[in-house]
């Protein structure tokens, strides 16, 4: 018999809703294995909310609930039981850094329950923290590490009969995306639990490309070249998602594009807008850059707005020109803070609400912080033309995080080299501080020295996030 694969999504209690599809990789890979004749199932580990709605981080796997889905059908929805791993030959985990600790627990449980099974670990954590993953010891050490695309590594080990190559064997591969024409799996049981809205409409999310052409110093995405999925895959996925929406009884529905690339130019935006309209979506959301909006204006955002584009995410990062000059937002070309303000005005005039993302940097002083406060205040106060699907006024939103210099980023290199005056990294980064939301849903802290005290940065972060509207 062919080996069977269990894809595991470890818990992420820092998300408002763990059934948000932040990780599409298992769903792409399941479709890939189906085409090649290999059976697989998906296990979602999650933390049920308390009576007050909070979901504390689990202290052990027994604190988790598990949802097992196979062939699109739920087989289990019960408290975690490690017996769930029985009958599977390969346990594959797609892991973001907030999930890393829980992924280690899963691996250890597999070793105890199913010692002959192999464990594969991929996702962004394996990519950006490869050394830590490879050097893991004991029961928590995985067999195969996949820091990039998983399509070929999966086939390779399954067709070879899951060979023993020693723990922490690295399988690095970047796939030709032209081969990926099948839609990722969209199990109705999971999609029914998905709680994400765009302009008052239920939405699912997808991607059309991997990587990013920009090389912002704080970001990992720009370290890999941009690769685009073929139109056939995008069409198949939009069609599949639309059918799932309708199966759930929805007449109107939306889609979110989580591409790092975002809306790059008018031609690309028009092509994507045509696909969205063709498949019957009433609203959609995407990302872009402020200077692209200013450069192209209505030519970029017009097709987006005309086909139901109601929200656009923009990494504005900062209202401080000094900080903006440091982060390499435009690949070495100077970007101006004034472009942030103008981009918001253009989008709002077209009936597009802006989700403005900002950061707090460890070199910033009071002048820098106040400049970004002013930008955030402008964003939330600027009027947006139009209403959402529920008849509510469209409103801009903001988000603020404290910059964490993840491995593989230019800022990590610069800070380790002492190239930023007044800022030093902690001698050893606490593992949990590497989380994008920290241990208590606030930003992680990995600094021994910053220009202002940590408390002042947290105060600024809290103030900005307090300005978010109650809906978006």
pLDDT digit string, tens, across residues 391-402: 999 999 999 989
Tell me how far apart the 2 most distant CA atoms of the chain are, in Å: 66
> Binning pLDDT at 50, 70 and 90, where does residue 16 land?
low
Asked if 167 and 205 sit in the same domain, the reply is no
Residue span of the structural domain in which 86 resides = 5-177
pLDDT band at 424 (very low <50, low <70, confident <90, very high): very high
Distance CA 363, CA 422 (A): 6
Q: Using one digit for the tens of pLDDT, what is the confidence trace for 258-304?
A: 998 899 999 999 999 999 999 999 999 999 999 999 999 999 999 99
Give the pLDDT confidence score for residue 412 in this predicted structure.
86
Q: Are 153 and 144 in contact (CB under 8 A)?
A: yes
Query: What pLDDT is recorded for position 440?
Result: 44
Q: What is the DSSP letter of 138?
A: G
131 and 277 together in one domain: no
Q: What does the alpha-carbon distance between residue 168 and residue 463 come to, in Å, rounded to a whole number?
A: 43
What angle in degrees, to the nearest 10, is found between the helix axes of 266-278 and 231-247? 40
How much of the chain, in percent, has pLDDT values that exceed 70?
A: 94
Query: Is residue 190 one of the residues assigned to a domain?
Result: no
Structure tokens at 52: 């007050």
Radius of gyration in angstroms for the set of CA atoms belonging to the chain, rounded to a whole number: 22
Pairing between strand 227-228 and 209-210?
Answer: antiparallel
Co-location of 267 and 413 in the same domain: yes
Same domain for 428 and 280?
yes
How many of the other CB atoms lie within 10 Å of CB of 433? 16
Q: What is the pLDDT of residue 55?
A: 80
Question: Tokens 């964003």 — which residue?
Answer: 379
Q: Which residue has the higher pLDDT, 5 or 16?
A: 5
Picking from 112, 143, 177, the residue at the C-terminal end of a domain is: 177
Q: Give mean pLDDT, residues 409-416.
A: 88
What CATH number is given to the structural domain containing 93? 3.40.50
Q: 188, 239 in Cβ contact below 8 A? A: no
Average pLDDT of the segment spanning 82-97: 94
Measuring CA to CA, which residue among 415, 400, 336, 328 is closest to residue 369?
Answer: 400
Please report where in the chains the tokens 């390779």 appear, as a residue: 156
Model pTM? 0.92
Q: Are residues 24 and 169 in the same domain?
A: yes
pLDDT tens for residues 111-126? 999 999 999 999 988 9
Residues 173 and 202 in one domain: no
- Report how far residue 302's alpha carbon sits from residue 309's, in angstroms, rounded to the nearest whole number: 9
What pLDDT is attached to residue 446? 83
Q: Flag whether 186 is in a domain.
A: no
Rounded to 5°, angle at Cα 388 from 386 and 394: 55
**Backbone angles phi and psi of 141, in degrees to 5:** -80, 130
Compare 274 and 225 and report the one with higher pLDDT: 274
**Cβ-Cβ contacts under 8 Å for 11 (sequence gap 6 or more):** 18, 45, 46, 47, 58, 64, 99, 102
One domain for residues 223 and 261: yes
* pLDDT at res. 222: 63
Q: In terms of domains, do 135 and 230 share one?
A: no
CATH number at residue 230: 3.80.30.20
**Per-residue pLDDT at 353 exceeds 60:** yes
Distance CA 77, CA 193 (A): 13
**pLDDT score at 105:** 95
Q: How many Å apart are CA 104 and CA 120, to the nearest integer?
A: 11
Q: Where are the beta strands (DSSP E) in 276-396?
A: 283-288, 309-317, 353-360
Q: Is residue 258 part of a domain?
A: yes
**Dihedral pair phi/psi, residue 229, rounded to 5°:** -70, 150
Give CA separation, 392 vs 302, 330, 355, 379, 385, in Å. 22, 35, 17, 18, 11
CA quadruple 405, 409, 415, 419: dihedral positive or negative? negative
Host H or E run for residue 304:
helix 298-306
Q: What total number of domains does the chain contain?
A: 2
Mean pLDDT of 335-361: 97
Q: For residue 93, which phi and psi values (nearest 5 degrees)?
A: -115, 130
Is 382 found in the same domain as 413?
yes
* Mean pLDDT, all residues of the chain: 91
């Amino acid at each position: 018999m062919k080996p069977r694969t269990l894809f595991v999504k470890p818990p992420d209690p820092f998300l408002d809703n763990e059934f948000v599809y932040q990780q599409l990789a298992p769903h792409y890979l399941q479709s890939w294995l189906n085409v090649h004749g290999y059976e697989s199932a998906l296990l979602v580990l999650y933390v049920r909310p308390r009576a007050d709605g909070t979901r504390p981080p689990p202290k052990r796997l027994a604190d988790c609930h598990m949802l097992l889905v196979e062939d699109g059908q739920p087989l289990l929805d019960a408290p975690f039981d490690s017996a769930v791993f029985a009958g599977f030959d390969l346990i594959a985990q797609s892991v973001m850094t907030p999930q890393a600790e829980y992924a280690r627990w899963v691996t250890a449980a597999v070793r105890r329950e199913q010692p002959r099974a192999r464990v594969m670990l991929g996702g962004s954590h394996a990519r950006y923290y490869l050394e830590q993953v490879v050097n893991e010891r004991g029961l928590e050490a995985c067999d195969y590490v996949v820091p990039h695309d998983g399509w070929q590594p999966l086939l390779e080990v399954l067709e070879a009969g899951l060979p023993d190559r020693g723990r922490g064997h690295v399988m690095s591969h970047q796939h030709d995306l032209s081969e990926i024409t099948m839609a990722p799996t969209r199990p109705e049981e999971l999609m029914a639990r998905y709680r994400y809205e765009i302009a008052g409409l239920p939405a699912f999310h997808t991607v059309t490309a991997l990587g990013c052409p920009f090389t912002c110093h704080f970001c990992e995405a720009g370290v890999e070249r941009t690769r685009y999925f073929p139109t056939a895959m995008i069409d198949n996925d939009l069609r599949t998602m639309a059918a799932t929406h309708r199966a759930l009884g929805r007449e109107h529905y939306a889609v979110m594009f989580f591409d790092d690339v975002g809306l790059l130019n008018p031609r690309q935006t028009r092509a994507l807008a045509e696909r969205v309209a063709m498949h019957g979506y009433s609203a959609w959301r995407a990302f872009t850059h402020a200077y692209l909006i200013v450069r192209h204006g209505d030519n970029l955002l017009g097709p987006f707005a005309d086909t139901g584009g109601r929200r656009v995410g923009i990494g504005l990062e900062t209202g401080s020109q000094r900080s903006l000059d440091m982060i390499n937002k435009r690949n070495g070309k100077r970007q101006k803070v004034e472009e942030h303000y103008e981009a918001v005005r253009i989008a709002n005039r077209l009936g597009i609400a802006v989700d403005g993302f900002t950061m707090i940097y460890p070199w910033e002083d009071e002048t820098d912080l106040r400049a970004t406060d002013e930008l955030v205040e402008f964003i939330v106060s600027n009027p947006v033309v139009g209403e959402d699907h529920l008849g509510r006024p469209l409103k801009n939103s903001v988000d603020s995080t404290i910059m964490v210099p993840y491995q593989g980023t230019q800022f990590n290199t610069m800070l380790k080299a002492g190239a930023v005056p007044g800022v030093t990294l902690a001698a050893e980064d606490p593992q949990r501080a590497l989380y994008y939301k920290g241990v208590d849903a606030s930003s992680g802290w990995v600094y021994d020295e910053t220009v202002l005290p940590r408390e002042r940065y947290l105060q600024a972060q809290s103030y900005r996030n307090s300005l978010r509207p109650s809906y978006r």
